[in-house]
Chain A
Amino acid sequence: MESPQLHLEPSKSTNDLLLEVKGLKTYFHIGKGKIAKAVDNVSFAIKKGETVALVGESGSGKSITSLSIMRLIPSPPGEIVEGSISLEGRDLLTLSEDDMTKVRGNEIGMIFQEPMTSLDPVFTIGNQIVESLMKHQKMKKKEAYEKAVDLLKIVGFARAEKIIKEYPHQLSGGMRQRVMIAIAMSNNPKLLIADEPTTALDVTVQAQILNLMIDMKEQFGSSILLITHDMGVVAETADRVLVMYGGQIVEEAPVRDLFLKTKHPYTTALLRTIPNIDVDLKRLESIPGNVPPAHLFPKGCRFAARCTHAMTKCQEEMPQLIEFENNHKVRCHLYASEGGAIE
């Protein structure tokens, strides 16, 4: 019922591309024959050295997208049912589990929202970094230990020699997140996936962590896929933005265009709900209702029930992604007569 194969616009120089996700569908079997379409036909690409932000409310499918790229979807109940994910031309979905383990950590690093749950509580900080270096870079233990101290210094620990002997529970949230960055960066990954890396942190520490990620990116030439719901963070760090809603990308644009030439009613609504420190408003705008659950998506536009511009067509027909100049794409019937459909 959905349009079958989509083709991304032929990129000008394919060599620039680091990651290419095409027609990704990650579904969850949630019992009684019900299927939750958590990620439903998502396509995007990340260029070398680029920071791409993936934004959306909880339940929009942004974290499942990133876990799919890492092939960390728990199966069952989850399953990547269709699509391809290629890293520098290699399809990650067809790799063996052993080869994929090498890709994780070596070529793709990941930072999660809650650093306490992603560090092993029974090993020292040093052990965890050394393990990663010995495994992925085939270093000797002594060499790896020295490298670990250096890495901890790079991420801002003045007392690296002391920290390396401590356990995760002895560190604060910001310190743990810096350790995660040190581990993620220890193998100079080509792609860093950061899933809400600063959400659990205080603003002054958040600023440190974001700066650190940008420094690392510039130093190693990595690309970043930044998953966040904070539009301020997006505006200050991203080159390009993907907006997800109900498992689909509903708008994609260079960061300035997304904020200054917003097209999709959902993006507009999302931007209006943020309390802005520079503007005084009597009342904040809000989006009525909630994201529909992933097993009960309507057949038409998934945002239609909450959209102030919804027309009859929106209830009946799923809008296609339409492309405008400057690689600005939007999934909305309001723009049906303009631009060109790419799906």
Chain B
Amino acid sequence: MSEREKILEIKHLKTYFPIKGTLFKGKAGLVKAVDDISFDVFKGETLGIVGESGSGKSTLGRTILRLTEPTDGEIIFEGNHLEHLGNRQLQKHRQHMQMVFQDPFASLNPRMRVGQLVGEPIAVQKILSKAERTRKIESLIEKVGLPKEALAKFPHEFSGGQRQRIGIARALSMNPKFIIADEPVSALDVSVQSQVLNLMLDLQEEFNLTYLFISHDLSVVKHISDRVGVMYLGRIVEIGPKHDIYNNPLHPYTQALLSAIPIVNFEKKREKIQLSGEPPSPSDPPTGCAFHTRCPKAFDRCKVERPELIHNESGQQVACHLYSQEDNKKILNAESKILQLTKQS
């Protein structure tokens, strides 16, 4: 990660879903699944996105690939804006961006043989001859650690871990540069989880891949990521280098999240920060900081004013009023100036 070349830039991305109302009322409201998110992804790195269910992490992943249409904001992949592209042009860029899904039981067509499944994306793009395609498919399936014979079988003949390998082979068939993996190991047993994670790390090295790794499991994210972003109710509340996030979490939510993980340690008992209540519904988010209803450190300002992300020296960013008072006020000002400038340009 020496050269910090951006492969993807997300600017003020918003994805809102209308809630269907009753017959006479029409639209009843909006679910702000992704609510003004900005970040960069650098070439060759793994950016982990963690958050609880309903935090909008999956919608974020889908919106970046435009599997879900963004409401507002910019998606810039290798310098090209994707947010307004038509289907044909989008397809050109999309071959460099692939997705691996959570449920290897639901994401593979049960009526297609593995060879067809892995080869389908290549066939759609019409760039290789049939013989070339076969050779490519065979090399892919071996790369993900399955025998060639697997190509003639159907998905149901494989275990969860093997199916996830097939899903990865399919994603790799277009020689992508960037892969969004949405909970790729959550449906698997721990012993199989580690096999798939190791495979992903090997492939990243071999093909110089960039990953956006979405998961609710903080231990898994820590293992595979270089940087980590923490989402809460459609927003990034903290983002930064992995070691900073895990060793020195700044946001009270990140602190609570990390302290809640059950760990195997009989020497030191970890102090748990117990959060009361449940995450609020994204259709009716609290005013101000979305976390203030559960935050042990909330004060008046949190209820009315939404905190923006502010930087510290090591590239860790946090959206919390605890850090935007006094000393950090300057940083906050500088940050908002930069924001204004980027908006103007």
Contact = CB atoms under 8 A, between A and B. Distances in A.
B266 A211 contact: no
A122 interface: no
B257 A235 contact: no
B223 A275 contact: yes
Contact of A203 (B161, B195, B218, B278): B218
B53 A277 contact: no
Contacts of A126: none
A206 B261 CA distance: 9
Interface in B41-94: 52-53
Interface stretch (B21-29, B124-132, B185-193, B299-307): B185-193
Interface string A230-253: 111111110000000000000000
Given A202-B52, A283-B198, A290-B159, A275 B262 contact: no
Contacts of B274: 207-208, 211
B190 A281 contact: no
Contacts of B190: 57, 229, 231, 270, 273-274
Contacts of B258: 277
Contacts of A204: 52, 256-257, 260, 275
Contacts of A285: 194
A173 B223 CA distance: 27
B16 interface: no
Q: By CB atoms of chain B within 10 A, which of A202, A204, A270, A274 has the most?
A: A204
A206 B275 CA distance: 11
A172 B195 CA distance: 32
Interface in B253-278: 256-258, 260-266, 272, 274-275, 278
Nearest to A272: B194
A2 interface: no
Interface string B103-137: 00000000000000000000000000000000000
Interface string A251-268: 000001001100000000
A278 B223 CA distance: 10
A81 interface: no
A214 to B, nearest CB: 12
A307 interface: no
Contact of A210 (B161, B222, B256, B262): B262
A231 B190 CA distance: 10
A207 B260 contact: yes
A173 B191 contact: no
Given A204-B256, A286-B195, A232 B266 contact: no
A49 B265 CA distance: 23
A284 interface: yes
A269 interface: yes
B46 to A, nearest CB: 14
Contacts of B154: none
A-side binding surface: helix, strand, loop or mixed?
A: helix
B250 interface: no
Contacts of A205: 52, 278
Contact of A286 (B53, B198, B216): B198
Contact of B191 (A210, A235, A277, A286): A286
Nearest to A271: B264
A93 interface: no
A276 interface: yes
Nearest to B243: A280
A58 to B, nearest CB: 6
B152 interface: no
A231 B264 contact: yes
B264 A276 contact: yes
A172 B260 CA distance: 19
B53 A203 contact: no
A174 interface: yes
Nearest to B50: A203
A78 B266 CA distance: 40
A188 to B, nearest CB: 25
Given A57-B189, A235-B262, A277-B263, A173 B53 contact: yes
Interface string B197-208: 110010000000
Contacts of B197: 275, 284
A207 B272 CA distance: 9
B211 to A, nearest CB: 16
B325 to A, nearest CB: 26
A206 B223 CA distance: 21
A287 interface: yes
A175 interface: yes
Given A230-B262, A235-B262, A277 B219 contact: yes
B220 interface: yes
Contacts of A256: 266
A131 B76 CA distance: 57
Contacts of A276: 219, 263-264
A232 B263 contact: yes
A288 B197 CA distance: 14
Given A208-B274, A275-B219, A233 B262 contact: yes
A144 B145 CA distance: 58
A282 to B, nearest CB: 8
B53 A202 contact: yes
A235 B265 contact: yes
A57 B194 CA distance: 13
Contacts of A281: 223
Interface string A286-300: 111010000000000
Nearest to B193: A273
B222 A277 contact: yes
Contacts of A260: 266
Given A204-B260, A208-B275, 19 more contacts: A57-B190, A58-B189, A203-B260, A205-B52, A208-B274, A230-B262, A232-B263, A234-B264, A235-B264, A235-B265, A256-B266, A270-B191, A273-B190, A273-B193, A275-B222, A276-B263, A284-B194, A284-B198, A290-B159
21 contacts: A57-B191, A58-B189, A202-B53, A203-B260, A204-B256, A204-B260, A206-B262, A229-B190, A236-B262, A237-B262, A269-B191, A270-B190, A271-B264, A273-B193, A273-B194, A274-B219, A276-B263, A276-B264, A277-B218, A277-B258, A290-B192
Nearest 3 CB-CB pairs, A to B?
Answer: A232-B262, A284-B194, A202-B52
